[in-house]
Amino acid sequence: MSLFSYTKPRALSEALRLLRGGATALAGGTDLVTLVRHGVARPERLVDLTGIEGLRGWSREKGKGIRIGALTPLADLETSAQLAKLLPIVRESLRDAATPQIRNVGTVGGNLLQRNRCWYFRDEGVPCWLKGGTRCFAVDGESRYHAVVGAHECWMVSPSDLAPALIACDAEIEVASSLGRRRMKLADLFVAPQGKRRREHALREGELVAAVRVPEGALERRGTYLKAMERKAWSFAIVSVAASARIREGRARDVRVVLGGVAPVPWRVAAAEKQLEGTALDDNACLAAADTLLDGATPLRDNGYKVTLARELVRRALRSLAG
């Protein structure tokens, strides 16, 4: 572990000033600390955000939906009975995210901004493309957990459980920097590394995620989150599916289907959602939509299973919305 400076400001403005100066944000630290320990991240200056009030907790404003502070521990969302009523998909996505200990410390913002789990990326000794090297080692390597769709130079997958669930709820984020605030769709936070962009997130230098907003309209939709793991708990998704829809007289409206664990970003295809509009979410419609979602999938040596699995999970998720 290399030497770094550490500051724990109490005011957001002070944190933003330090971030502007090139410091690295630290919240729960459940991801960053392991990256530093393994020599993958080498920050020179850390800004500990956990002393800042006002970025923690969630609230409902009538007609304006839900606002979740970025420093809210995952456990607070998971255990809130009130939130479970309003947005059950969030609890479903969090109850199998990491471990209870990590959910106690890990934050909403940290979860969305966590780095990928590719074992070549996480191996200090492997000069992979994402870290500035020349190529992706998964392409001809051990690729069991890598992307089957949407990858360019880098075949890592988006690991977050929360992100697909929130995107299925049309979530937006508030992004703060010393220059001001902006809002963006949560889906746009995630970018597939490509060309000159060797990173997974679209935040600009000096920005931080301050809050997540879920619009009122999403609260009227049913949602569910399915996560296939290689053991019963404490592991990242092989494939996960977040789905939501409004069901009127047996017909689906405003359908959202977002896959985790299959692409460098939470994977969503507008055409797939569109073709489900007005259907009864019967098996045929669900499988046809799954095929559209996975159209163009090009699995690597070890991960063809993800395509089969994703197809089945999409069907099950959508069927459960209908039922």
Residues that bind other proteins (CB under 8 A): 1-2, 38, 92, 95-96, 117, 119, 125, 141-142, 144, 224-238, 240, 304-305, 308-309, 312-313, 316, 320, 323
Nearer to other proteins, 18 or 238 (CB): 238
Minimum CB separation of residue 105 from other proteins in Å reads: 16
Nearer to other proteins, 39 or 278 (CB): 39
Least Cα distance to 255 among 230, 234, 286 occurs for: 286
Minimum CB separation of residue 167 from other proteins in Å reads: 18
Residue found by looking up tokens 């009538």 in the block: 62
Minimum CB separation of residue 76 from other proteins in Å reads: 18
Q: Is the dihedral of CA 235, 24, 3, 121 positive or negative?
A: positive
* Pair of tokens at residue 221: 């939709």
Q: In this structure, what DSSP letter does residue 277 have?
A: T
Minimum CB separation of residue 301 from other proteins in Å reads: 11
Minimum CB separation of residue 150 from other proteins in Å reads: 21
Give the up-direction half-sphere exposure of residue 227: CA atoms within 13 A in the CB hemisphere: 28
Nearer to other proteins, 251 or 316 (CB): 316
Nearer to other proteins, 195 or 323 (CB): 323
C-alpha pair distances (Å), 32 with each of 195, 200, 215, 315:
25, 15, 30, 36
Q: Where are the alpha helices (DSSP H) in the chain?
A: 12-20, 32-37, 74-79, 81-86, 88-94, 100-105, 108-113, 162-167, 270-274, 283-293, 305-322
Nearer to other proteins, 112 or 138 (CB): 138
Nearer to other proteins, 38 or 274 (CB): 38
Contact between 172 and 183 under an 8 Å Cβ cutoff? The reply is: yes
Nearer to other proteins, 190 or 225 (CB): 225
Least Cα distance to 268 among 200, 166, 179 occurs for: 166
DSSP 150-200: S-SS-------SHHHHHHTTT-EEEEEETTEEEEEEGGGGB---BTTB-SS
Minimum CB separation of residue 221 from other proteins in Å reads: 17
Minimum CB separation of residue 280 from other proteins in Å reads: 18
Quote the Cα angle for 45-180-53, to 5°. 60
Nearer to other proteins, 129 or 225 (CB): 225
Minimum CB separation of residue 142 from other proteins in Å reads: 5
Distance (Å, whole) CA 118 – CA 124: 12
